[in-house]
Structure 1
């Protein structure tokens, strides 16, 4: 089956949509997290690439553990603790193959929540009152399908069927995930994201807003997952131009309004 990348040089840079099929991008923990490291946020990284950062109060910990020989190529993890050195109150994990722009937006929202709590009497990191529909309603406005099951879960699938978000709306078993997302074929996903119960819905909403953003992601052709390229649109290609015509992308859907930072 043909795809928009067929006549492009593998090293050429392109801008692509939808985001969930774009590939991981440049794996740089320091810029992906974008914390104020000069303001008391410790950051450390080993020669092997494993990295960690902490909030000044040590209640937030975020790590990157590359495992290039395993499916998912490693893990990005956010742990939130009600008190330092206690078991996590909630956790988010992303496969290392998740687009880094999605991770950056979640960590930016995490920093926003942290600073809001620090300068107010709120505790939204552990008592967030954001309604679940704020995380999934924007998916429906862009044509994602919606399926509700009697086991307490509802699933939202992308229009092309190569990604989804699952929400456990009935809290009958808090040991299971509250939210789960993936991209690619379910039997062999490009990446997976997992949100435990207790995770602020505000962070899930930041994730889904980034997931469906109509701002294209910049990738080289060789870094875009091969098996789902037929479902990608190429925005304005940049860099080395191939011989012949580059397939034009249809215009992206209208932007979705979201939380103002």
Structure 2
């Protein structure tokens, strides 16, 4: 939970808890920033879609508000810039932007470490690529392991409104990149069939990158949103708590009135603090 002193920086008037029931902020800049800070190239098309390319063209990100489907964020990595993707990940248009930012932040760090961190094909028995590692943050925070159907392992949040599924066996590489039938699927809502939001990751997506997302999704701290924007949280399931504006250090007229009421009658009136144009103005409340 943010501290009282930090509330003036919060962009929202309510906190949404649990955070996986918060929706998108509708702003892509925070998730693009970690990659742009590394000098990745940004391009835009005439429709308003944005494309970010790594310097070696082996990782590409698309922010696609005018895309053909609800896949708002698509990130692909390539061993060969002219070949098929080595792995791909998708966040749909309702996914909380903070979760995308967690992924791009981890991706930026992995890119700086080199191809072995973000591109190497997992080796059999490699402990750092063990799929179970991606679920560790969830399990540590009380999520429950399930086996809903043959070939699928799942982990659900305590309230049942979010889950992570991992599919075993062989999958079609092209299908993984273009549908929800991927190796990994993270979702929130009343069911995986009709989720409020979802994210998918294909086979060979580095487990450390997926773990960065599950760590963020399961964080107990709430997310700030604007109450009037109904798409910004899952109504009826999310708990909303008002964001309290920071209190000014300067006395307000009400403070002066209260101080006067507490002042002993024998004290002269000049001892009462006064509000003047030279007093430090109150800090502004949270703004959009």
Change (3 A) 1:38 1:206: closer
Task: Spell out, residue by residue over 1:69-103, the C-alpha distance to the aligned partner (whole angstroms, 9 max, x if none).
Answer: 96x4x421001000212211110011011000000
Q: In the TM superposition, what is the alpha-carbon distance from 1:36 to its structure 2 partner?
A: 4.9
CA contact (8 A) 2:24 2:232 kept: no
Structure 1: which 5+ residue stretches go unaligned? Answer: 1-11, 240-261
In structure 1, distance between residues paired with 2:148 and 2:207:
21
Q: In the TM superposition, what is the alpha-carbon distance from 1:67 to its structure 2 partner?
A: 4.1
**Match of 1:25?**
25
Higher RCO (C-alpha 8 Å, min separation 6): 1
Between Structure 1 and Structure 2, the one with more strand by share is 1
Kindly report which structure 2 residues correspond to 1:182-261, keeping only aligned pairs within 5 A, or say none: 182-186=187-191, 187-225=193-231, 228-238=234-244
1:85 matched to 2:82? The reply is yes
In structure 2, distance between residues paired with 1:178 and 1:34:
27
Please state whether the residue corresponding to 1:229 is helix, strand or coil: coil
CA contact (8 A) 2:49 2:67 kept: no
Change (3 A) 1:212 1:197: same
1:130 matched to 2:129? The reply is yes
Kindly report which structure 2 residues correspond to 1:47-196, keeping only aligned pairs within 5 A, or say none: 48-67=47-66, 72=70, 74-117=71-114, 122-127=116-121, 129-148=128-147, 151-168=150-167, 170-173=168-171, 175=173, 176-186=181-191, 187-196=193-202
Change (3 A) 1:226 1:26: closer
In structure 2, distance between residues paired with 1:178 and 1:21:
23
CA contact (8 A) 1:23 1:223 kept: no
Q: In the TM superposition, what is the alpha-carbon distance from 1:150 to its structure 2 partner?
A: 6.2
In structure 1, distance between residues paired with 2:233 and 2:42:
36
Q: In the TM superposition, what is the alpha-carbon distance from 1:109 to its structure 2 partner?
A: 0.4
The TM-score with structure 2 as length reference comes to 0.69
Matched residue count: 223
Q: In the TM superposition, what is the alpha-carbon distance from 1:224 to its structure 2 partner?
A: 4.4
Please state whether the residue corresponding to 2:135 is helix, strand or coil: helix
In structure 1, distance between residues paired with 2:230 and 2:158:
19
CA contact (8 A) 2:47 2:66 kept: no
In structure 2, distance between residues paired with 1:19 and 1:215:
7
Please state whether the residue corresponding to 2:61 is helix, strand or coil: strand
CA contact (8 A) 1:25 1:223 kept: no
CA contact (8 A) 2:225 2:233 kept: no
**Match of 1:13?**
13
Larger Rg: 2
Structure 2: which 5+ residue stretches go unaligned? Answer: 1-11, 123-127, 174-180, 246-288
Between Structure 1 and Structure 2, the one with more helix by share is 2
**Match of 2:266?**
none
CA contact (8 A) 1:160 1:231 kept: no
**Match of 1:3?**
none
Q: In the TM superposition, what is the alpha-carbon distance from 1:123 to its structure 2 partner?
A: 4.6
Change (3 A) 1:174 1:200: farther
